[in-house]
Chain A
Amino acid sequence: MFAEDDLLPISALQHLLFCERQCALIHLERQWVENRLTVEGRHLHRRAHDAEDELRDGRRIVRGLALRSLRYGLSGQADVVEVAPLDDVARQRMGAALSGVARFTAGAWSVTPVEYKRGRPKQDDCDRVQLCAQALCLEEMLGLVIPAGALFYGRRRRRTEVFFDAALRETTLAATRRLHELIASRRTPLARREPKCDSCSLLPICLPSAIGRASSMAAWTERQLDRALASAGPTTD
Chain B
Amino acid sequence: MKQHLNTLFVTTDGAYLAKDGEAVAVRIDRQVKLRVPLHNLDGLVCFGRIGISPPLMAACAAAGITISLVDMHGRFRAAIIGFSPGNVLLRREQYRVADDMLAACAIARNMVAAKIANCRSVLLRAIRDANDPNVQSAVQPAIHRLAQDLESARRCTSLDQLRGIEGGAADVYFGCFTTIVAPVAREFRFTSRSRRPPLDPFNSLLSFLYSMLAHDARSACESVGLDAAVGFLHRDRPGRPGLALDLMEEFRPFLADRLALSLINRRQVALAGFRTTESGAVLMDDATRKAVLVAYQKRKQDEITHPVLNEKVSVGLLIQLQARLLARRLRGDLDAYPAFVWK
Q: Which A residues lie at the B interface, using CB under 8 A?
A: 28-31, 33, 186, 188, 190-191, 203-205, 207, 209-211, 214-218, 220-222, 224-225, 227-229, 231-233, 235-237
Chain B contacts of A220 at CB under 8 A? 308, 336, 338
B339 within 8 A of A: yes
Per the bound structure, the CA–CA distance linking A215 and B225 in Å amounts to 23
Chain B contacts of A29 at CB under 8 A? 86-87, 90, 225
Chain B contacts of A221 at CB under 8 A? 110, 113, 336-339, 341
Chain A contacts of B124 at CB under 8 A? 232-233
Residue of B nearest to A29 (CB): B87
Checking A203, A205, A218, A236 against B335 with a beta-carbon cut-off of 8 angstroms, the contacting residue is: A218
Q: What would 14 A/B residue contacts be, using CB atoms closer than 8 Å?
A: A28-B87, A29-B86, A30-B225, A188-B333, A203-B1, A217-B338, A218-B336, A221-B337, A225-B154, A229-B151, A231-B343, A232-B120, A232-B143, A237-B144
Per the bound structure, the CA–CA distance linking A229 and B87 in Å amounts to 38
Stretch of B67-75, B255-263, B323-331 contacting A (4+ beta carbons < 8 Å): B323-331
The 3 closest A-B pairs by CB, nearest first: A218-B336, A204-B2, A228-B117
Q: By CB atoms of chain B within 10 A, which of A28, A203, A211, A235 has the most?
A: A235
Chain B contacts of A225 at CB under 8 A? 113-114, 117, 150, 154, 341
Q: Is the CB of A188 within 8 A of B86?
A: no
Residue of A nearest to B328 (CB): A211
Nearest CB of B to A221, in Å:
5
B311 within 8 A of A: yes
Q: Is the CB of B113 within 8 A of A235?
A: no
Residue of A nearest to B331 (CB): A188
Per the bound structure, the CA–CA distance linking A188 and B225 in Å amounts to 15
Per the bound structure, the CA–CA distance linking A186 and B86 in Å amounts to 13
Size class of the contact patch on chain B: 35 or more
Q: Is the CB of B113 within 8 A of A211?
A: no
Q: Is the CB of B154 within 8 A of A209?
A: no
Q: Is the CB of B144 within 8 A of A236?
A: yes
Nearest CB of B to A42, in Å:
14
- Given A190-B333, A214-B334, A235-B143: A28 and B89 interface contact (C-beta under 8 Å): yes
Q: Is the CB of B325 within 8 A of A210?
A: yes
Nearest CB of B to A190, in Å:
6
Q: Is the CB of B334 within 8 A of A217?
A: yes
Residue of A nearest to B147 (CB): A235
- Given A28-B89, A30-B87, A225-B341: A207 and B335 interface contact (C-beta under 8 Å): no
Chain A contacts of B10 at CB under 8 A? none
B272 within 8 A of A: no
Per the bound structure, the CA–CA distance linking A232 and B174 in Å amounts to 19
- Given A210-B325, A210-B328: A229 and B147 interface contact (C-beta under 8 Å): yes
B307 within 8 A of A: yes
Instruction: Knowing that A220-B336, A224-B114, A229-B117 touch, tell me 14 more A-B residue pairs with CB under 8 angstroms.
Output: A30-B86, A31-B224, A210-B334, A211-B328, A218-B336, A221-B110, A221-B113, A221-B339, A224-B117, A225-B113, A225-B154, A227-B341, A229-B151, A236-B144
Per the bound structure, the CA–CA distance linking A214 and B225 in Å amounts to 21
Per the bound structure, the CA–CA distance linking A231 and B147 in Å amounts to 12
Chain B contacts of A204 at CB under 8 A? 1-2
Q: By CB atoms of chain B within 10 A, which of A222, A229, A233 has the most?
A: A229
Chain A contacts of B89 at CB under 8 A? 28, 186
Per the bound structure, the CA–CA distance linking A150 and B309 in Å amounts to 42
Q: By CB atoms of chain A within 10 A, which of B87, B325, B331, B333 has the most?
A: B333
- Given A204-B1, A207-B321, A222-B154: A227 and B335 interface contact (C-beta under 8 Å): no
Chain B contacts of A227 at CB under 8 A? 341, 343
Nearest CB of B to A31, in Å:
6
Residue of B nearest to A206 (CB): B324
Per the bound structure, the CA–CA distance linking A220 and B334 in Å amounts to 11
Nearest CB of A to B17, in Å:
23
Per the bound structure, the CA–CA distance linking A70 and B90 in Å amounts to 29
Q: Is the CB of A228 within 8 A of B334?
A: no
Chain A contacts of B151 at CB under 8 A? 229
Q: Is the CB of B120 within 8 A of A30?
A: no
B273 within 8 A of A: no
